[in-house]
Amino acid sequence: MPKPFKPSILKMTARNVSVAYGSKIAINDVSIDVDQDEVVAFIGPSGCGKSTFLRTLNRMNDTVASARVTGEIKLDGQDIYSPDMDVVQLRARVGMVFQKPNPFPKSIYENVAYGPRIHGLAGAKADLDRIVEKSLRRAGLWDEVKDRLSDSGTALSGGQQQRLCIARAIAVDPEVILMDEPCSALDPIATAKIEELIHELRGRYAMVIVTHNMQQAARVSQKTAFFHLGTLVEYGNTSDIFTNPREERTKDYITGRYG
Amino acid sequence: MPKPFKPSILKMTARNVSVAYGSKIAINDVSIDVDQDEVVAFIGPSGCGKSTFLRTLNRMNDTVASARVTGEIKLDGQDIYSPDMDVVQLRARVGMVFQKPNPFPKSIYENVAYGPRIHGLAGAKADLDRIVEKSLRRAGLWDEVKDRLSDSGTALSGGQQQRLCIARAIAVDPEVILMDEPCSALDPIATAKIEELIHELRGRYAMVIVTHNMQQAARVSQKTAFFHLGTLVEYGNTSDIFTNPREERTKDYITGRYG
Amino acid sequence: MSDTLVPQIPVTNAEPVRRVPTDWTTQAMQSRIRRRYASERRFRFAGLAAVWLSAAFLAYLLITMVMQGASGFVETRVSLPVDLAAAKLPIEPARLVGRGADLALAGAGLEGTVDLAATKAFGKDGTDLLSDGAWAVVRDAIKADPSLLQRRTVFEVPVSSPIDVAAKGNGTRDAEAIVARLKASGALTRGFNAGFLTSADSTDATRVGIWGAFKGSLLTMIVTLLLAFPIGVLSALYLEEYAPKNRWTDLIEVSINNLAAVPSIIFGLLGLAVFLGTFGMPRSAPIVGGLTLALMTMPVIVIAGRNAIKAVPPSIRDAALGIGASPVQVVFHHVLPLALPGILTGTIIGMARALGETAPLLMIGMRAFIAAPPSGLADPATVLPVQIFLWSDQVSRGFVEKTSAAIIVLLVFLLAMNGVAIYLRNRFETRW
Amino acid sequence: ACVDQANGGGAGSRDQITAVGSSTVYPFTTMIAEQLVANDPDAKAPVIESTGTGAGMKLFCAGIGAAHPDIEDASRRMKASEYATCAKNGVRDVIEIQVGIDGIAFAEAKNGPKMQLTPTDLYKALAANPGGKVNTARVWRDVNPALPAVPIQVYGPPATSGTRDALAELILTKGCEASDPTAKALGKSDAEAHKALCTRVREDGVYVDAGENDNLIVQKLQSNPNAIGVFGYSYLEENKDDVNGVSISGVAPTYATIADNAYPGSRPLYIYVKKAHLTAIPGLRNLLKLYAANWGATGPLVKRGLIASPAGVQARSAAIIANETVLDPAVLS
Amino acid sequence: MSPIALLFLVLGLGLIGWLTARVRATRFRAGSTVRFSSLPSHHGWYVALWTAIPPLVFLVVWSMTAPALVTDAVLATPAAIQLPPPGFDRASILSEARSLADGRSFGAFHGLARTLAPSYAAAQSRYDWIATAAALLLAFAGGALAFTRVKPGFGARTQVERVVMLMLLGASLIAILTTVGIVASLLYESARFFSVVPITDFLFGTHWSPQVIDARDPGASLGAVPLFWGTFFIGAVIAMIVAIPFGLMSAIYLTQYAAPNTRKWMKPILEVLAGVPTVVYGYFAALTVAPAVRDLAVSVGISWASSESALAAGLVMGIMIIPFVSSMADDSIAAVPSSMRDGSLAMGATSSETIRRVLLPAALPGVVGGVLLAVSRAIGETMIVVMAASGVATLTLNPFASTTTVTKQIVDLLTGEAEFDSPKTLAAFALGLTLFVVTLLLNIVALRVVKRYREAYE
Ligand SMILES: Nc1ncnc2c1ncn2[C@@H]1O[C@H](COP(=O)(O)OP(=O)(O)OP(=O)(O)O)[C@@H](O)[C@H]1O
Ligand SMILES: Nc1ncnc2c1ncn2[C@@H]1O[C@H](COP(=O)(O)OP(=O)(O)OP(=O)(O)O)[C@@H](O)[C@H]1O
Ligand SMILES: [Mg+2]
Ligand SMILES: [Mg+2]
């Protein structure tokens, strides 16, 4: 599926990144590049550190007191762990969608408008309305909710909630979107919708998606990274990884020998 | 996979069963037969009522104050909702295994011995030891735990805990075992172990298993029931359902159109 | 959905083993079942009994208080003819307006006139029949209508405490005889004792009121609330959301958890030694009471606040952080609003406890007799529960019903506060 | 310049009278305070706290100024040691006024055994070590063969109360010295030993410490006809329907017998006032005058269950008020 | 200008600072495509804080020093010569003059005060103007300084949030201060006590009778063991004998058996028991329960039963504690995952078997922790024992006999007629310290137990 000969523009680069929770090393010496218009999938058995690594990419791990990150992660060439990087702005540029849909217990409108508000992206109410509509449209949710924007976001179905969360992330116009098992709490139909959405958003945002589901990785991503016990075992084009893995461990995992 | 010409003995029959939680109807007019030595799988999208229906089979729904069951469910020809049916005995005869492994916070031994003790199935300590060992062996756990029977059941790994729960259910020598997504909290290896166990227990106990995972249904069951929005859409031999479903909805679901 | 990606299970073809099911119908099994059910019923009954006995005790307590206290809201009055014209009080009507009125009437010997009228109406011991506050009734009537000074009027004045108690059927033999006599002559009436709700403490049971103590409670609670609520909420936020894991934080946490369970009397000792002793703050003042109770209430609010904050799912914080909200924004935009009902519930419960608290206030001198309601935070005052304690210790029998009546008033407020807290909790018991 | 002299050294000023001290004088003082307010609606209501004489003394003697009370109600005379503390804290000019008399009375239920006791009986029944030996008396007959064989059961004030002090001083010591001639001498040579011998009350359940709430004692007497209660005379007065006074040495507790000291167990009540406060606290002088106006034998003092001082004492006290005579510490013990 | 007016003025200036800074920040944001770290309102708050906080701090300091300065100015006037020498009289005249000058009172008790009032007013207004000027200067200086920093790249949000964090930290330090205050005040007085009475006499002596203290050996009659026993007997034995079964069974019934509606009503009703003030319980115990207990005892032949029996106080205290135990038990049982219950029921266990064999054992640590907390609550309870228990310290196992408690003795010692400053009053603080230490230990243990238990199911 990935287009073979498009020149790629590097969006994020991680070099020799290690993460420890206290004395427990969760990620060990991982280097990865994320391109401007690709979807990267992280796969690997439970506890191998996929989420941990994903969360280092927008410094969400800062909220875990015991987490220590070493190595270098750059966004557009700028070190995101340097002291003069403003975490708040970083997170606006690198958005995140979580495993469990987590809309705010506010109206649908307010959910989407929250980001633009705190970042002062919209001057007038009309601006804000425009941003909200655009984001909901991009997230493929506009038609379903346009008549009930003032309903609570938590009243939506699971799949809708997850799309609302994507719309919310889109609303601050991020450059990268990180998704941590966005479909694992959803039923197959909702899953399909999200996958479709990822397809549509590709090119506009660089995306990194963690998934337990290998078929999903195969369906949505151009590159796949396979983690095991905190190390990056293999990283390459998705088609290669699934049909012709270089490493024995990758192959064993993909064919279901362990996991 | 199921053997086609074995004469089957009816173990449980449900006729026109409906279940409502308050005014919300969760199961509508479902009729199903469960054979003596078969594994029946319930599949269907989330919220379609699989768990609800499963729990009517041993009256676990009695614990939900708002639940109302109508229709007729028989175990060996005896109506389990009749006033002279003793729930306590019913549940001993129709055991249950839950989605999340839920061993009691007691020793492994006490976990398994719990049922026989309350039902007075073992006279002497030696009897009890025998039952515990037999049950753990049947659950395929004996070799792993025989040296640490006095360790807490909660100290085991997820898959072991689930097998401990199966052993616990087996210990009271039930006739039917109901399992509600027994593998959904487990990793693939543990899942494989449980599936193997189901194979081995087949014939000894009638089994009903709810699963989200269609491959799992295909692998372990002889009959499959497909639920949708509280109704039973199709019920038949697993091989038929998966290769040649009669209903359009079943087909769409199985091929991943919705779910 | 290729099957190759999923581990395959070898299919066993072995013939299943048949088994003999447990026989549930044997005699032994059946009687065992019956025993189990019997024990089930006993257990359940024990639970029910525990609940009902507890509730019954509460009912008994409340009913006792209401039965004893209801009569505290009623006063007995006697008709007293006073010939003000004949008394020729030296008062110019012009002085009967404004601030000078009370002074003028007090100085004019009105009290003596009323005593005289009593002696005239009821004989030598006539003054003993009247409450000390009887003349005040006459005074107020004159203030309302100065023309009374020109005639003879029959006033309904409150009787003295022994007579009042006797009229309510609980008095001494002498008093009951007098009551019987007065009743026969139709001079006794009963009425709502408005003074009980509007006046302050007094030495005469017929004149006492709870307004002074109530106002003291009010002022104290204001201080408590203003201090404990913000400090409590802010510390709860700090501890739950920002505090780094270090020794200081542990120390704060241990302090708060322990303060919450430190006996209230210890806070009284603290107030006595620190606020009165070291800081030299005024004795008996609501501000000191409020401070002391605030220290006591603050940990309750912190703990309730922390629980409420903890109940806000972390996913909400992640969500906000994930789109670039700063930690302060996360807390003030999302966490605090969602936790507020829980915090308020905790606050109300803490305040209710403070309102009913007695022991620490005894230590800091809020047990004084003050015949006027306090007008400021530094004015000496007492509070409702202490007033109850003081009255319960009074010699005069008339105070028994007043004590219970004050208890009724206090309970009404506490129950209302608890009710609001329970309502809030039920209303906002959201699980995300 | 850091000290604000308008604050009298940092403790502020105050425009209402404060009094602390004995719970026995408290009812009388509260009533006087009430009158003060009634006579002058502009006056701020005095603050009267019943702290007990001892704790009150501590507050009273802590210093001059707004932070310290103006008046101490005392159910006993100030002790020399207390005066010394006062003086140390600058409270030198103290005015001592006797306002009345309190009697402790013994009482039993109406249907009681109509006991007739003497201080010696009481001492032998109640002291921890009468005559130096551990008290084993169980029934009244054990202490005096003339008395009935009724179990000894006495409800009385707790160790911390002033009434208890009075009991020890006025009854037990008297009984002690009457029954044991060496006791008096002991009192001179070794005060502590004398105290232990004469005033220590037994603690084996015969003497029941019934709390400060004398109402409760009355109730207890009713439910236990054999028991004897010890409380302030005012409670006897208030409850004369329910309990009878017990005669001591043949004298029944009545107003008259207590007033003329025929009934053992009467003690003078005092108030102490700081002279330095008279000019600073509005209304304080008026309050003292009100005391004098109300302590007559037919006045409110008696209505509150206390007993008026003899006329001579009244006159002397009135003169003290008029002249603002300060106390000579030499008379204190 | 009066302090209140000044306060509002300063706050007003802060508001103006907020508005102007906001406008400025909005202006430089407009049309720019760069992302900014701070919203206009953050800049607004930054300037507002700088405008308002320095003058407010100044005003606080000023309000503490200014009155003395004013008084000194008045003392320098000729009329002040008539004042009595420094002392209470002088203070009272001066303060009266001040309240006359402030218009807080009208009539004067001292004539001199009226004479001094005008000069007071004059000095007051002079100093008020100085204060106003200084405050305004500070406000303008602070505001201007902050305003110059409002630039696109300036991280106003970080600065403002730092202030917020400081506030939060400050608030939580109050708890430590309180604890320190308690410990310090108790320790100070107790140290004085223990310098008179040997600590071993106090802690291990079995004779408590503060009525007569032998100056040669004060420890002989200040042995607190009977108090400790009485406290333990009433609070940890009798009260718990009532509270544990009732509380536990109520919790079990309400969580496991009662219909949701019953639960909805009964739970709050039981909680009301905890909301009834202790003084009411005390009154009730003394007037109703104690006589009833005595009558009961007498009717079964215990003629010497005290009407201040440990039983009466303990019973009422136990009832007061019921909801406490019940809600702790409720929490602990609710913390047991419902899958345990389901698991047991699905095995064919009856409800009571499930509760007794699965839920309660699983919840046991939580329940035990809760009971310890309840005990600490009970032994610290004061009013019930003050009103219903006796003051006699006896070492007895008999519930119909009278005993006293630590809290009761503290109140008696501090409010009694005893001579002051003897070991008696200090003993109250020593008792307070003991009580504090014991409840502290109980709490630490209980919270540990509960915490470890909670963690087991998290
Ligand atoms: N906050 C934390 N503190 C300590 N250890 C943690 C923390 N979060 C994760 N870990 C540990 O770090 C390792 C990696 O966890 P992580 O959540 O990144 O795995 P994962 O690959 O995302 O697993 P899953 O597929 O189950 O989500 C695990 O061993 C986990 O136990
Ligand atoms: N205790 C309950 N009270 C009210 N409604 C309930 C309750 N339990 C389940 N329901 C509702 O009944 C319907 C059927 O639920 P059920 O749990 O049986 O679905 P399910 O097929 O097992 O779903 P899943 O695959 O998510 O487990 C759902 O709509 C659910 O919301
Ligand atoms: Mg993960
Ligand atoms: Mg289900």
What the block records as the tokens of A47 is 């506890």
CA distance to partner chain B, nearest, from residue E401 (Å): 44
Count the alpha carbons within 13 Å of A7 in the hemisphere toward its beta carbon.
Answer: 0
Strand B10-21 and strand B24-35: the pairing is antiparallel
pLDDT of C13 over the 50 cut: no
pLDDT of E427 over the 50 cut: yes
Q: What percent of chain B has pLDDT over 90?
A: 43
Q: Do D14 and D7 meet the contact criterion of CB atoms below 8 Å apart?
A: no
Ligand 1 in contact with A52 (CB < 6 A)? Answer: yes
Least confident interval from B98-112, D217-231, D283-297: D217-231
pLDDT of D204 over the 80 cut: no
Answer yes or no: do E89 and D280 touch at CB < 8 A. yes
pLDDT of D11 over the 70 cut: no
Mean predicted confidence (pLDDT) in D17-35 = 88
Our CA dihedral for E12, E15, E20, E25, rounded to 10 degrees, sits at: 170
Would you place residue E303 in the very low, low, confident or very high pLDDT band (cuts 50, 70, 90)?
low
Contacts of residues E27-35 at CB distance under 8 Å and 24 or more positions apart, as own/partner, are: E28/E151, E28/E152, E29/A120, E29/E152, E30/A123, E32/E152, E34/E152, E35/A89, E35/A92, E35/A93, E35/A119
What the block records as the tokens of A185 is 């709490």
Q: Do D78 and D94 meet the contact criterion of CB atoms below 8 Å apart?
A: yes
Would you place residue D143 in the very low, low, confident or very high pLDDT band (cuts 50, 70, 90)?
confident
pLDDT at residue D5 in the model: 65
> How many angstroms separate the CA atoms of E314 and E320, rounded?
10
| Burial environment of residue C90 by CB neighbours within 10 A (0 to 12, 13 to 18, 19 or more) | exposed
pLDDT of C391 over the 50 cut: yes
> How many angstroms separate the CA atoms of A81 and A96, rounded?
18
What the block records as the tokens of A207 is 């995306």
Mean predicted confidence (pLDDT) in D180-187 = 79
CA distances from B61 to B52, B55, B67, B146 (A): 7, 6, 6, 35
Minimum-distance CB partner of B173 among C22, C32, C36: C22
> How many angstroms separate the CA atoms of E32 and B24, rounded?
54
Minimum-distance CB partner of C367 among D10, D49, D238: D49
The pLDDT tens digits for B30-41 are: 999 999 889 999
Determine how many CB atoms are found less than 10 A away from the CB of residue E77: 15
Ligand 1 in contact with A21 (CB < 6 A)? Answer: yes
pLDDT of D84 over the 60 cut: yes
* Side chain identity at residue A8, one-letter code: S
Report CA torsion sign: A190, A191, A192, A198: positive
Beta bridge partners of E89: none
pLDDT of D105 over the 70 cut: yes
pLDDT at residue D198 in the model: 84
Answer yes or no: do E168 and C235 touch at CB < 8 A. yes
> What are the chain C neighbours of A256 within 8 Å (beta carbons)?
5-8
What the block records as the tokens of E142 is 């602070």
Pocket test for ligand 1, best of A51, A62, A208 (most atoms within 8 A of CB): A51
> What crossing angle do the helices spanning C384-392 and C398-427 adopt, rounded to 10°?
150
Phi, psi for D129 (deg, rounded to 5): -135, 70
Neighbours of chain B (3+ CB pairs under 8 A): A, C, E
CA distance to partner chain D, nearest, from residue E110 (Å): 8
Ligand 2 atom nearest B64 alpha carbon: 1
Ordered DSSP codes for D42-67: TSPPPEEE---HHHHHHHHTT-SSTT
pLDDT of E224 over the 50 cut: yes
What the block records as the tokens of C363 is 């230590």
- Label each residue of A23-75 as H, E or C: CEEEEEEEEEEEECCCEEEEECCCCCCHHHHHHHCCCHHHHCCCEEEEEEEEE
pLDDT of B64 over the 90 cut: no
Q: Please state the ipTM of this predicted complex.
A: 0.84
> Which residue is closest in CA terms to ligand 2's atom 6?
B21
Tell me, rounded to whole angstroms, the distance of Cα C85 from its chain centroid.
Answer: 47
Determine how many CB atoms are found less than 10 A away from the CB of residue B127: 12
Q: Which residue has the higher pLDDT, D61 or D302?
A: D61
Among candidate residues C408, C406, C413, the one with its CA nearest the CA of residue C202: C406
pLDDT at residue C12 in the model: 42
Among candidate residues B230, B208, B188, B195, the one with its CA nearest the CA of residue B44: B230
Count the alpha carbons within 13 Å of A180 in the hemisphere toward its beta carbon.
Answer: 24
The pLDDT tens digits for C313-330 are: 888 999 999 888 888 999
Write the DSSP symbol of residue A226. Answer: E
> How many angstroms separate the CA atoms of C400 and C393, rounded?
9
Q: Do D108 and E446 meet the contact criterion of CB atoms below 8 Å apart?
A: no
Answer yes or no: do E342 and B100 touch at CB < 8 A. no
pLDDT at residue D277 in the model: 85
pLDDT of D315 over the 50 cut: yes
Answer yes or no: do D52 and E415 touch at CB < 8 A. yes
* Side chain identity at residue C24, one-letter code: W
Ordered DSSP codes for E392-405: -------TTSB---
Among candidate residues A96, A120, A57, A68, the one with its CA nearest the CA of residue A178: A96
Mean predicted confidence (pLDDT) in D161-165 = 73
Contacts of residue E147, defined as CB under 8 A and 6 or more positions apart, other chains included, come to E17, E20, E21, E24, E47
> What are the chain D neighbours of E65 within 8 Å (beta carbons)?
2
> How many angstroms separate the CA atoms of A107 and C336, rounded?
17
pLDDT of E104 over the 70 cut: no
The SS3 of residue C36 is helix
Ligand 1 in contact with A50 (CB < 6 A)? Answer: yes
> How many angstroms separate the CA atoms of E428 and C272, rounded?
12
Per-residue exposure over E231-251, b if at least 16 CB sit within 10 Å of its own CB, e if not: bbbbbbbbbbebbbebbbbbb
Among candidate residues D246, D265, D266, the one with its CA nearest the CA of residue D140: D246
| Burial environment of residue C98 by CB neighbours within 10 A (0 to 12, 13 to 18, 19 or more) | exposed
**Segments in chain A below pLDDT 50:** 1-4, 259
The SS3 of residue E330 is helix
pLDDT at residue D296 in the model: 85
Name the residue with tokens 């037969």: B33
Count the alpha carbons within 13 Å of D91 in the hemisphere toward its beta carbon.
Answer: 30
> How many residues does this entry show for chain A?
259
> How many residues does this entry show for chain C?
432
Q: Is A181 left (phi over 0), alpha (psi -120 to 50) or beta?
A: left
> How many angstroms separate the CA atoms of E82 and E84, rounded?
6
Determine how many CB atoms are found less than 10 A away from the CB of residue A125: 9
Pocket around ligand 2: residues whose beta carbon is below 6 Å from it? B 21, 24, 26, 44, 46-52, 64, 66, 212
Q: Do D96 and D288 meet the contact criterion of CB atoms below 8 Å apart?
A: no
Ordered DSSP codes for D28-46: HHHHHHHHHHHH-TTSPPP
What the block records as the tokens of B237 is 């031999």
Query: Any CB–CB contact under 8 A between E14 and chain A?
Result: no
Q: Which residue has the higher pLDDT, E325 or D190?
A: E325
> What are the chain E neighbours of D82 within 8 Å (beta carbons)?
419-420
The pLDDT tens digits for D37-82 are: 877 777 788 999 888 788 888 889 888 877 789 999 998 888 888 8
Pocket test for ligand 2, best of B25, B28, B48 (most atoms within 8 A of CB): B48
Query: Any CB–CB contact under 8 A between B95 and chain E?
Result: yes
Would you place residue C350 in the very low, low, confident or very high pLDDT band (cuts 50, 70, 90)?
very high
Q: Which residue has the higher pLDDT, D182 or B259?
A: D182
The SS3 of residue D120 is helix
pLDDT at residue D128 in the model: 83
The pLDDT tens digits for B113-160 are: 999 998 888 878 888 999 999 999 988 889 889 898 988 888 888 888
When the pLDDT of each residue in chain A is averaged and rounded to a whole number, the result is 88
> How many angstroms separate the CA atoms of C427 and B223, rounded?
47
What the block records as the tokens of B241 is 């359902």
Mean predicted confidence (pLDDT) in B70-90 = 90
Among candidate residues B76, B85, B31, the one with its CA nearest the CA of residue B174: B76
| Burial environment of residue C350 by CB neighbours within 10 A (0 to 12, 13 to 18, 19 or more) | buried
Q: Do C390 and C367 meet the contact criterion of CB atoms below 8 Å apart?
A: yes
pLDDT of E398 over the 50 cut: yes
Neighbours of chain C (3+ CB pairs under 8 A): A, B, D, E
Mean predicted confidence (pLDDT) in C78-99 = 77
What the block records as the tokens of D44 is 């701020």
Question: Of E29, E37, E41, E160, which to mutate for an interface test with A (greatest number of A Cβ within 10 Å)?
Answer: E37
The SS3 of residue C368 is strand
- What is the Å distance from ligand 2's center to A230 Cα? 37
Minimum-distance CB partner of B215 among C3, C11, C22: C3
Q: Which residue of A has its CA nearest to E29?
A: A120
CA distances from C323 to A103, A105, B169 (A): 12, 16, 47
Neighbours of chain D (3+ CB pairs under 8 A): C, E
* Side chain identity at residue B38, one-letter code: E
What the block records as the tokens of D60 is 């009273």
> Strand C152-158's sheet: what is its strand order?
C152-158, C74-83, C188-192
What the block records as the tokens of D112 is 């009681």
Mean predicted confidence (pLDDT) in B175-179 = 93
Among candidate residues B57, B60, C315, B132, the one with its CA nearest the CA of residue E339: B60
- What is the Å distance from ligand 2's center to B50 Cα? 8
Beta bridge partners of B236: B224
> What are the chain E neighbours of D81 within 8 Å (beta carbons)?
419
pLDDT of E214 over the 80 cut: no
Mean predicted confidence (pLDDT) in D166-190 = 82
Determine how many CB atoms are found less than 10 A away from the CB of residue B67: 19
pLDDT at residue C3 in the model: 40
pLDDT at residue C2 in the model: 38
Would you place residue C7 in the very low, low, confident or very high pLDDT band (cuts 50, 70, 90)?
very low
> Which residue is closest in CA terms to ligand 2's atom 5?
B21
Answer yes or no: do E419 and D82 touch at CB < 8 A. yes
